[in-house]
Amino acid sequence: MNITVLGTGYVGIVSAAVLADFGHNIWGLDIDPKRVENLKKGKSPIYEPGLEELLQKGLENQKLQFTTDYGQALEKTDIIFICVGTPQAESGEVELKYVYSAIEQIAKNLQNPSLIVLKSTVPPGIHLKLKEIMDQNTKVSYEFASTPEFLREGTAVSDTFNPDRIIIGTESEKAQNTLLEIHKGLPGKRLCTDIISAQMIKYASNSFLACKISFANAIARICDLLGANVLDVMQGIGMDNRIGEKFLSPGLGFGGSCFPKDIKGLYFLSKQAGYDFKLLDEVSEINDSQVAYYLTKTEKIIGNFADKNITILGLAFKPDTDDMRESRTIPLVNELLEKGAKITAYDPIATETAKVVFGDKIIYAKDKFEAIRDCDILILATDWNEFKNMDLVKIKQLMKGNIFVDGRNLYNPKDLKQFGFVYVGIGRI
Ligand code: UGA
């Protein structure tokens, strides 16, 4: 099939590369010329395991091409996947300017009857407004559909090849069959529904996962008060199939470009629609206060952070990505700097993106040992594999102090005590 993927962010590049791998002819379309030039050379603007190899394969097979030109991309296209960003506006509302301008350009350049598939996370029902823009600008026939994306950063390529489920929202059997056909080679369950419900599934999924994490963090705080071990508690509740064991790891909280934005987006949408979804407000509230919770706990031990040398291990919002968006390390670093601390940080991949956020306010080390040398306090902020089984004897020798703040609950407090550390975690005994 001839497909245009519009927007070459996380979802767009990965979808384009995977669809090309399935033998479709793909145009990756983006308004950013620099990004498109790099993509034409097989260079990905984001770090994502396996992505560059897949891009290069698509380019070599001539199944994948990139352009900034709507006319060129849409010349033979009959299916368009919209993958542009839908960030959060200051009001909390979903910012739709990229979607609107993409639709306007599509309408002006549409040449063949087309299926326009919304993959971006958009307010359920927005296609009704988008239809008005289309109708004002084109006479070519078109239809909207929606296939929300569930890939995770850091595992985006393997998630796209191995989805749990594919949600197909359409208004006609023809569109439904086209989308079933496009996804034919992929495993996973299929659910065919209407467009509004498909988009609601995306918001509800992300909000539910964020609820699980904040629930685990709230229980961890109660465990601290009562002397229970939150890891055992989470394992115990996760054994109930109705609950499930995933996304119950307490720590500094969730970040990234999706959960924080989508729970606020759904909260806002619900309010506009006439329902006050207070639960989501509380989920954000718990998440937003996790960093302060850790810092207050640490302050109780050390007095204050002024002039303390702090090492932060991990800056990205999660492992295997260089994405800093909404990373919990942003409030962590800012609050520590405000309290007068000096910060040295190390991240295996995200140093360059972190420099854009923190500039020269912190020192960037080349490896974890350089970062740790002579520090008073070590804060483990992102659960990269290389931080999971560190040589604790060596770390203790390199550090000046002995405070180990485990922001991802990776270590056993008893083990750390044996090596001479003072452990600061959450819900651990
Ligand atoms: C999330 C969803 O998991 C994807 O299904 C969805 O497609 C994506 O958002 C999106 O809407 O585009 P992602 O943001 O890449 O994916 O990352 P996750 O693996 O979900 O992690 C999000 C955050 O939650 C990270 O900061 C992670 O450290 C944190 N987390 C996760 C916890 O604090 N505890 C957990 O138990 C799990």
Q: Which tens digit of pLDDT belongs to each residue from 63-73?
A: 999 999 999 99
- The number of the ligand 1 atom at minimal distance from the alpha carbon of 321 is 15
Cα 213 to ligand 1 centre (Å): 9
Confidence of residue 91 (pLDDT cuts 50, 70, 90): confident
pLDDT of residue 413: 95
pLDDT tens for 164-185 read 999 999 999 999 999 999 999 8
Q: How far is the CA of 291 from the centre of ligand 1 (A)?
A: 17
Start-to-end C-alpha separation, the chain: 57
Residue 90: predicted pLDDT: 84
Q: Rounded CA gap, 122 and 128, in Å?
A: 12
| 19 Cα to the center of ligand 1, angstroms | 24
pLDDT digits (tens, 9 = 90+) for 364-399: 999 999 999 999 999 999 999 999 999 999 999 999
Mutate to test the pocket of ligand 1, among 119, 164, 206, 332 (most ligand atoms within 8 A of CB): 206
Lateral strand order in the sheet of 114-118: 64-67, 25-29, 2-6, 79-82, 114-118, 142-146, 165-169, 189-193
| Ligand 1: residue whose CA is nearest its atom 5 | 150
Instruction: Please state, as a whole number, how many other Cβ atoms lie within 10 Å of the Cβ of residue 246.
Output: 9
Helical axes 51-60 vs 10-21, angle rounded to 10° = 50
The CATH class for the domain spanning 289-424 reads alpha beta
What confidence tens digit (pLDDT) does each residue in 190-232 have?
Answer: 999 999 999 999 999 999 999 999 999 999 999 999 999 999 9
The residues, any chain, with a CB within 8 Å of residue 225's CB and separated by 6 or more, are: none
**Ligand 1: which atom is nearest the Cα of residue 328?**
26
Measuring from each residue's beta carbon to the nearest atom of ligand 1, which residues come in under 6 Å? 121, 149-153, 206, 209, 213, 247-249, 251, 253-256, 258-259, 317-318
CATH for 202-287, options being 1.25.40.10, 1.10.1040.10, 1.10.472.10, 3.40.50.2300: 1.10.1040.10
Locate CATH 1.10.1040.10 in the chain.
202-287
Q: Which two tokens stand for residue 197?
A: 């419900």
% of residues, the chain, pLDDT over 90: 98
Tokens of 169: 């929202």
Proportion of the chain above pLDDT 70, given as a percent: 100
SS (H, E, C) the chain: CEEEEECCCHHHHHHHHHHHHCCCEEEEECCCHHHHHHHHCCCCCCCCCCHHHHHHHHHHCCCEEEECCHHHHHCCCCEEEECCCCCECCCCCECCHHHHHHHHHHHHHCCCCEEEEECCCCCCCCHHHHHHHHHHHCCCCEEEEECCCCCCCCCHHHHHHCCCEEEEECCCHHHHHHHHHHCCCCCCEEEEECHHHHHHHHHHHHHHHHHHHHHHHHHHHHHHHHCCCHHHHHHHHHCCCCCCCCCCCCCCCCCCCCHHHHHHHHHHHHHHHCCCCHHHHHHHHHHHCHHHHHHHHHHHHHCCCCCCEEEEECCCCCCCCCCCCCCCHHHHHHHHHHCCCEEEEECCCCHHHHHHHHHHHCEECCCHHHHHCCCCEEEECCCCHHHCCCCHHHHHHHCCCCEEEECCCCCCHHHHHHCCCEEECCCCC
Between strands 309-313 and 363-364, the pairing is: unpaired
**Which residues are catalytic, by number?**
258
Nearest CA to ligand 1 atom 8: 152
Pick the atom of ligand 1 nearest to 326's CA.
26
Distance 150 CA to ligand 1 centre (A): 10
Closest-CA residue, ligand 1 atom 11, reads 258
Say if residues 127 and 146 touch (Cβ distance below 8 Å).
Answer: yes
Nearest CA to ligand 1 atom 6: 150
Q: CA 382, 252, 256, 377: dihedral to nearest 10 degrees?
A: -40
Taking every pair of Cα atoms in the chain, the longest distance, rounded to a whole number of angstroms, is 74
Query: Which residue has its alpha carbon closest to ligand 1 atom 24?
Result: 254
Which residues of the chain are in CATH 3.40.50.720 domains?
2-193, 289-424
Query: Which ligand 1 atom is at minimum distance from the Cα of 205?
Result: 5
Q: Is residue 429 over pLDDT 90?
A: no
Give me the architecture of the 2-193 domain, per CATH.
3-Layer(aba) Sandwich (3.40)
